[in-house]
Amino acid sequence: MKKILSVLLVLLGFAASAYSQSSKGANIEITGRVTDELGEPLIGVSVTIKNRPGFGSMTDVDGKYSIKVAKYSTLVFSYISFETAEVELEDQKVVNVVLSESKDNILDQAVVTATGVQKKITVTGAVSNVDVGSLQKTATSSVTNALAGNVPGIIARQTTGQPGDNVSEFWIRGISTFGAGSSALVLVDGFERSLNEINVEDIQDFTVLKDASATAIYGSRGANGVVLITTKRGAEGKTKLNAKVETSYNAPTMMPKFVNGIDYIHMLNESRTTRSQQAIYNDTQVRLFENGLDPELYPNIDWMNTVLKKGTQSYRANLDLSGGGKTARYFISASYLNEGGMYKSDQAVNDYKTNANYSRLNYRMNVDLNLTTTTLLSVGVSGSLEKQNQPGGSSSEIWESLLAYNSSITPIKFKDGKWASTVVQFDENNKEARVNPWVLVTQMGYNETWKNKIQTTLNFTQDFHFVTPGLKFLARVGFDTNSNNISSHFKRPDLWGYSKSREGDGTIHKWMAQNEVLMEINSSSQGERREYLEAEIHYDRTFNGHMVGAVLKYTLDKFTDTSENLDKSTIQSIERRHQGLAGRFTYGWKYRYFIDFNFGYNGSENFATGKQYGFFPAFSVAWNLAEEPFIKNGFKVMEMFKIRYSYGKVGNDQLSIRYPYLSSFKNTTGYNFGDINSDNKYDGLTYNNYASVGITWEISTKHDVGIDFSFANGMVTGTVDYFDEKRDGIYMQRSFLPHSVGLTESVPYANSGSVRSNGFDGNVAFNKKFGNVNLTVRGNMTYSKNEILEYDEAYSRYDYTRQVGHRVGQLRGLVSEGLFKDYDDIRNSPKQTFGEVAPGDIKYKDINGDGVIDNNDVVPIGATVKPNLIYGFGVSLAWKGLDVNLHFQGAGKSSFCMEGAVSYPFLNGTWGNVFQDAVGNYWSKDVNEDPNAKYPRLSYNGNANNYRPSTYWMREGSYLRLKTVEIGYTLPKRWLSAMHFTGLRIYVMGTNLLTFSSFKLWDPEMGSTTGQQYPLSKSVTVGLTFNL
Scanning residues 300 to 319, which ones bind other proteins (CB under 8 A)?
A: 306-307, 309, 313, 315, 317, 319
**Sequence-distant (≥ 6) Cβ neighbours of residue 413 within 8 angstroms:** 419, 420
* CA 893/CA 807 separation, integer angstroms: 12
Query: Shortest distance, CB of residue 359 to other proteins, whole angstroms?
Result: 12
590 forms part of the interface with other proteins (CB under 8 A): no
CA neighbours closer than 13 Å in the CB half-sphere of residue 809: 21
DSSP-H helix ranges across 105-147: 132-135
What residues contact 22, with CB distance under 8 A and at least 6 apart?
49, 51, 52, 53, 54, 55, 325
To the nearest 10°, report the CA torsion of 801, 804, 810, 812. Answer: 0
Q: Does 276 bind other proteins (CB under 8 A)?
A: no
Q: Is residue 518 near other proteins by the rule CB under 8 A?
A: no
Nearest to 380 by CA among 337, 333, 327, 335: 333
> Which residue from 169, 192, 205, 294 is in contact with other proteins, where contact means CB under 8 A?
294
Q: Is 297 in the site for other proteins (CB under 8 A)?
A: yes
The interface region with other proteins, picked from 43-51, 66-74, 211-219, 344-352 by CB under 8 A, is: 344-352
User: Which residue, 195 or 200, has its beta carbon nearer to other proteins?
Assistant: 200
DSSP category for residue 199: -
Confirm or reject binding of residue 20 to other proteins (CB under 8 A): no
CB of 336 to other proteins, least distance (A): 9
Q: Which range touches other proteins (CB under 8 A), out of 77-85, 343-351, 523-531, 660-668?
A: 343-351
In the bound state with other proteins, the residue whose beta carbon lies nearer, of 88 and 505, is 505
Q: Interface with other proteins includes 999 (CB under 8 A)?
A: no
Indicate the residue among 389 and 786 with the shorter CB distance to other proteins.
389
Q: Answer for the pair 218, 579: CB distance below 8 angstroms, yes or no.
A: no
Strand partners, 1012: none
Nearer residue to other proteins within complex by CB, 170 or 343 = 343
Q: Per-residue x/- marks for other proteins, 821-860, CB under 8 A?
A: ----------------------------------------
**What is the rounded distance in angstroms from the CA atom of residue 1000 to the CA atom of residue 593?**
52
Q: Which one, 152 or 164, has the nearer CB to other proteins?
A: 164
Q: Of the ranges 241-249, 714-722, 961-969, 1006-1014, which one interacts with other proteins (CB under 8 A)?
A: 241-249
State which residue, 89 or 986, has the beta carbon closest to other proteins: 986
Residue 351 binds to other proteins (criterion: CB under 8 A): no
**H or E element, residue 826:** helix 823-827
Residue 951, SS3 per DSSP: coil
CB of 261 to other proteins, least distance (A): 15
86 binds other proteins (CB under 8 A): no
Contact by Cβ (8 Å): 987, 968: yes
Q: Which is nearer to other proteins, 497 or 881 (CB)?
A: 497
Q: How far is CA 530 from the centre of its chain?
A: 22
What values do phi and psi take at 134, rounded to 5?
-70, -25
Please report whether residue 288 would count as binding other proteins according to CB under 8 A: yes
Closest CB 294 distance from other proteins, rounded Å: 5
Beta bridge partners of 942: none
Length of the chain: 1028
Are 761 and 789 in contact, with CB atoms under 8 Å apart? no
The H or E element containing residue 877 is strand 869-879
Interface region with other proteins, contact rule CB under 8 A, candidates 222-230, 415-423, 603-611, 627-635? 415-423
Residue type, 102: S
Interacting positions 355-374 with other proteins (CB under 8 A): 355
Least distance CB 340 / other proteins (angstroms): 7
Work out whether 322 is an interface residue with other proteins (CB under 8 A): no
Q: Which of 649, 732, 650, 668 is nearest to 695 (CA)?
A: 732
Strands (E), 661-772: 664-672, 681-689, 698-711, 716-733, 749-770
Supply the minimum distance, in Å, between the C-beta of residue 1024 and other proteins. 6
Binding mask 936-975 for other proteins (x = CB under 8 A): ----------------------------------------
Report the C-alpha gap between 276 and 286 in whole angstroms.
Answer: 19
Note whether 380 and 189 are within 8 A (CB). yes
Binds other proteins by CB under 8 A, chosen from 29, 83, 108, 346: 346
Stretch that binds other proteins, among 42-50, 291-299, 597-605, 854-862 (CB under 8 A): 291-299
Out of 8, 89, 262, 424, the only residue in the binding site for other proteins (CB under 8 A) is: 424
- From the CB of 254, what's the least distance to other proteins, in Å? 23
Give the relative orientation of helices 261-273 and 283-291 as an angle to the nearest 10 degrees: 160
Q: List binders of other proteins among 171-210 (CB under 8 A).
A: none
Q: Smallest gap, in angstroms, from Cβ of residue 502 to other proteins?
A: 6
Residue 511 makes contact with other proteins by CB under 8 A:
yes
Per residue, what are the HEC states of 414-476?
A: CCCCCEEEEEEEEECCEEEEEECHHHHHHCCEEEEEEEEEEEEEEEEEEECCCCCCCEEEEEE
Q: Rounded CA gap, 481 and 385, in Å?
A: 12
476 forms beta bridges with: 459, 534
- 291 is an interface residue for other proteins by CB under 8 A: yes
For CA atoms 464, 465, 468, 469, the dihedral sign is positive
- The amino acid at 618: A
Nearest approach, Cβ of residue 1022 and other proteins (Å): 8
Give whichever of 182 and 355 is closer to other proteins, judged by the CB atom: 355
1028 is a site residue for other proteins (CB under 8 A): yes
Cα separations in angstroms, 596 against 542, 562, 605, 620, 1022: 15, 41, 30, 5, 47
Binding positions for other proteins, 884-913, rule CB under 8 A: 909-911
* Binding status of residue 980 toward other proteins by CB under 8 A: yes
The answer to the question of residue 247 lying near other proteins (CB under 8 A) is yes
**Contact flags string 430-469 toward other proteins, x per CB under 8 A:** -x------x-------------------------------
Shortest distance, position 415 Cβ to other proteins, whole Å: 5
Instruction: Give the binding range for other proteins (CB under 8 A) out of 243-251, 322-330, 380-388, 722-730.
Output: 243-251
Question: Which member of 64, 326, 413, 541 binds other proteins (CB under 8 A)?
Answer: 413
Spatial contact of 984 and 71, defined as CB atoms under 8 Å apart: no
Q: Does 1022 bind other proteins (CB under 8 A)?
A: yes
Q: 181 or 835: whose CB is closer to other proteins?
A: 835
Per CB under 8 A, does 246 bind other proteins? Answer: yes
Helix/strand/coil for 550: strand
3-state secondary structure of 978: helix
Judged by CB under 8 A, the residue of 137, 238, 272, 937 near other proteins is: 272
Q: By C-beta, is 126 or 342 nearer to other proteins? A: 342
**Phi, psi of 287, rounded to the nearest 5 degrees:** -65, -40
CA torsion, points 844, 850, 854, 860, in degrees to nearest 10? -70
Least Cβ distance, residue 314 to other proteins (angstroms): 9
Q: Which residues 491-510 are close enough to bind other proteins by CB under 8 A?
A: 494, 496-507, 509-510
Distance CA 235, CA 970 (A): 24
By CB under 8 A, residue 985 contacts other proteins? no
Is 110 exposed, middle or buried, given 0-12, 13-18 or 19+ CB atoms closer than 10 A? middle
Q: Which of 361, 412, 533, 705 binds other proteins (CB under 8 A)?
A: 412
Q: Is the CB of residue 353 less than 8 Å from the CB of residue 191?
A: no
Q: Which is nearer to other proteins, 739 or 980 (CB)?
A: 980
Binding to other proteins by residue 428, rule CB under 8 A? Answer: yes
